[in-house]
Amino acid sequence: MKVIIDLCVVPIGVGVSLGSYIAECERVFLKAGLKTQLHGYGTNIEGEWDEVMQAVKECHEVLHKMGVPRISSTLRVGTRIDREQTIDDKIRSVQDKLR
């Protein structure tokens, strides 16, 4: 089952500068070979359900190993069986309609 998720990881208990933790998550996705797109309040990730969710788990594990005591992430998780659709397809679909 293919999935497109949008993930926002919020490390708690390590102050207000979170960029280095988010960068560490990006490295996890890169290493996993997943297609991602970083935006200003999270990251789009697409791939097979198990691989994508395994990478989300690794984000939590890596951050805890870096000393983050508590994490609260939010995910949007989209699946569909009517047709295949990528992150790029979704953006293009909206942009086409805006023209």
Binding site for its own copies (CB under 8 A): 1, 4-6, 8, 10, 12-13, 15-16, 18-20, 22-23, 26-27, 37-42, 44, 46, 49-50, 53, 56-57, 60-61, 64, 69-82, 87-88, 90-91, 93-98
Q: What is the Cα–Cα distance from 14 to 34, expressed in whole angstroms?
A: 27
Min dist. Cβ of residue 33 to its own copies (A): 16
Min dist. Cβ of residue 62 to its own copies (A): 12
For residue 56, which of 39, 75, 35, 37 has the smallest C-alpha distance?
A: 75
Min dist. Cβ of residue 34 to its own copies (A): 13
* All residues at 6 or more sequence positions from 49 whose CB lies less than 8 Å from its CB, including other chains: 1, 2, 3, 79
Q: Is residue 21 a contact partner of residue 14, using CB atoms and an 8 Å limit?
A: yes
Comparing CB distances to its own copies, the nearer of 33 and 81 is: 81
